[in-house]
A and B are shown apart, each in its own frame.
Chain A
């Protein structure tokens, strides 16, 4: 093993801002040849931003960038490639309609003298390359037909075999099954022993500890710790990630919160064995009236799909849903709405009509209740006015186009549309994402009021704070399966992160 060498890459005092918000503040980072360097930190801590600077994605930053002892600056991803740096991004960047072989050789297919692609050679070499990573697939099959985990492995394999000497992997294991993770780690260690430097970003701290030599922790755009992996532990890393509540202004939930005892209210929704190929495995839970059920998990754990199954947007491959004891197989979102389920997706744009006035946004889901054949605009406006007042939506003008409102107020409108005729079950995805403290508090109060009125509420989030501030009971999703349920017990951010 060749640790302790001269760093091949050094970053000094890196600062990067997006539209006035600093994503990185004065970060130093060094990478030596033949090491696996793990990066951990919460969403938005700055890990991915730093890696995108290294990979040439962000060309505009301040600070010094030293490669092989020479100060350099990449203007594009191409420059980074030429310098032997490659990155596997969190989102898959494969071409699902091309064959496996074409994906492996994307951009540099072997050609003969006439410039024609040598298909047979390409297929053979792709097959050999993948076999070295323990992947046994027909190189001529369509990539999109393979399971997500395998697609991700193939993309990783492509980058790993590209001959790059610095390889950055951003959340490579989120879609992989345990044996696939095992295979990936074996390969990473082999490459490291051959002298390649690897940066490994993951939310899964066990994975980081198992495969890394060095671990660096980010928090709020700063590097807060760097240690040898052998000298740290999961609790220590989590503590470094979330801080002790001294730095941040907001509630950080490092102390314990007592979850209330379970309610004996009737069960509103019963999910049984929900399974979706490659995304969810036998997810079962129940939601009760007057209770907020939190569903927590890292990005890509399957919660987005789960929420869409509950609202009839996606059909599960297996498993059943029962609303108030009656089995339901939703054929459309309209079916789900009629069964008394309301849904607010994680992206406001997906659920609001920005070019329409506020009152039409508020009334869209209840038109069939407040009007029959003909619309009743005065009634719509009256209802919208009441909601605007109750939720303190500003400006309080229901004829204004929704696009003129601020993000936080738009989010309130997204809630308001379901509240005039309260549903039985409200499914909220990331209800406080990107909100300022005031708007967050407003949303928390709205949700608590609704709970008091006897609604069943499911909050899905990748942010521990959101779940902790709202939920009465928490289930944790990991790689598409329920791994832990917290009820009637002490809970804190550390424990939540540890479970996930």
Chain B
């Protein structure tokens, strides 16, 4: 290599304003979008029943519960933490709201019937409390979130088990039933709730001081602390936000499925984490946002739904989902490295 070439390379690295450099630094936003377009095109060609308005409605409904849970999870992952207890908290909150509702006589659960509003408030209080326990373990005791929320996953599952004792409850308060399983003007309420919560999450992250703090703590925790931010308070808050979002998702999910029982939400843990990460929010914190999560939700939604429309071995579906997730993780880690290099 001549010295002239190496000088050019050095100059380029100092001024990454070219198109290639811009694409490189934006890879985390572009890649998920391209993935979505590719998947959509593929299924549209492969199956005539896929690209219809009806089916689009199906996809929206299918990703709603995941979307509600993913709102809170986006906050957590932006702070470079993780919450493995979201599905279990969703489950226990859904069970709790049913537990405090009068069930049909054939349901054999020793429940405590209450007015609908009280049941909803108690269920919300429960998930907020579990989130506070997560926050306490993470910030006060100093347990890594990975382990703390793993324990919480088990604790929440345990509370669920004690409440239903292997039985199934069906009734939830009327408000929850309405939001979870009815439509208005042809649009399911659950889609509207998910959309509103995603919008709210986006507004908080983009336009509020708290949202900025979330990004800064995720971007460089040490620097946030040396800038005089209350890092523990912010980390604790995102754990509570995550638990409450999961709880809302759980209540509406129970109404949506029509029953409340043990292990009902197990697949939602992987799905919600995957939605956030596939969308391009950095696992190292500080990069990404609700916009990315929405793209990630659609990637997963299109994938899950599309695989049902093409003629494919249903057991192969699981493997394909795993491979797509792996690809997204590779892109996620790679995008971080590219961006760091661009910033140097």
| A positions within 8 Å CB-CB of B | 311, 313, 332-334, 336-338, 342-345, 349-356, 360, 364-365, 367-368, 371-375, 401, 403-404, 417
Contacts and interface: CB of A to CB of B under 8 A. Distances in A.
Contacts of A311: 226, 228
A371 B227 contact: no
18 contacts: A313-B225, A332-B231, A333-B225, A349-B220, A351-B223, A351-B227, A352-B223, A353-B219, A360-B216, A364-B229, A365-B227, A373-B209, A375-B207, A375-B212, A401-B343, A403-B344, A404-B14, A404-B343
A313 B229 CA distance: 11
Contact of A355 (B209, B226, B233, B343): B343
A343 B223 CA distance: 11
Contacts of A372: 209
Contacts of B173: none
Contact of A367 (B209, B286, B339, B344): B209
Contacts of B229: 333-334, 364-365
A365 B198 CA distance: 28
Contacts of A404: 14, 343
B222 interface: yes
A484 B281 CA distance: 53
A334 B230 contact: yes
B202 interface: no
B107 to A, nearest CB: 44
B333 to A, nearest CB: 15
Interface in B217-252: 219-220, 222-233
A410 to B, nearest CB: 12
Contact of A375 (B208, B339, B343): B208
Contacts of B233: 334
B216 to A, nearest CB: 6
Contacts of A365: 227-229
A404 B344 CA distance: 7
A333 B217 CA distance: 13
Contacts of A334: 228-230, 233
A350 B226 CA distance: 7
A343 B226 CA distance: 7
Nearest to A351: B226
- Identify which of B226, B339, B340 gathers the most chain A CB atoms within 10 Å of its CB: B226
Q: Which 7 A-B pairs have the closest CB atoms?
A: A337-B228, A403-B343, A334-B230, A351-B226, A365-B227, A364-B227, A350-B222
B211 to A, nearest CB: 8
A352 B225 CA distance: 11
Nearest to B222: A350
Interface of B: 14, 207-209, 211-213, 215-216, 219-220, 222-233, 286-287, 339-340, 343-344
Contact of B212 (A342, A344, A354, A360): A360
Contacts of A368: 209
B28 to A, nearest CB: 12
A374 B207 contact: yes
Contacts of A373: 208-209
Contacts of A352: 220, 223
A277 B339 CA distance: 41
A246 to B, nearest CB: 36
A355 B286 contact: yes
Nearest to B211: A375
Nearest to B17: A404
B220 A353 contact: yes
Contacts of A364: 212, 216, 224, 227, 229
Contact of B223 (A336, A338, A350): A350
Nearest to A337: B228
Contacts of A338: 228
Contacts of B225: 313, 332-333
A373 B212 CA distance: 11
B344 A355 contact: no
- Identify which of B14, B208, B212, B286 gathers the most chain A CB atoms within 10 Å of its CB: B212
A36 to B, nearest CB: 41
A432 B236 CA distance: 36
A374 B203 CA distance: 10
A353 B339 contact: no
A94 B267 CA distance: 45
Contacts of B215: 356
Contacts of B213: 367
A332 B226 contact: no
Contacts of B339: 355
A456 B223 CA distance: 23
Contacts of A343: 226, 228
B228 A367 contact: no
A345 B224 CA distance: 12
Given A350-B223, A353-B220, A355-B287, A336 B344 contact: no
Given A332-B232, A352-B220, A367 B212 contact: yes
A349 B282 CA distance: 20
A15 B222 CA distance: 37
A336 B228 contact: yes
A333 B228 contact: yes
A333 to B, nearest CB: 5
A350 B221 CA distance: 9
A13 to B, nearest CB: 27
A313 B226 contact: yes
Contacts of B220: 349, 352-354
B234 to A, nearest CB: 10
Nearest to B229: A334
Given A368-B209, A375-B209, A356 B216 contact: yes
Nearest to B286: A355
- Identify which of B220, B222, B225, B227 gathers the most chain A CB atoms within 10 Å of its CB: B227
Given A313-B225, A354-B343, 5 more contacts: A364-B212, A374-B207, A403-B343, A403-B344, A417-B227
- Identify which of B222, B223, B344 gathers the most chain A CB atoms within 10 Å of its CB: B223
B209 A374 contact: yes
Contacts of A350: 222-223, 226
Nearest to B336: A355
Contacts of B340: 355
A114 B50 CA distance: 66
- Identify which of B209, B213, B216 gathers the most chain A CB atoms within 10 Å of its CB: B209
Contacts of B230: 332-334
Nearest to A371: B209
Contact of B219 (A342, A344, A356, A367): A356
A216 to B, nearest CB: 38
Contacts of A371: 209
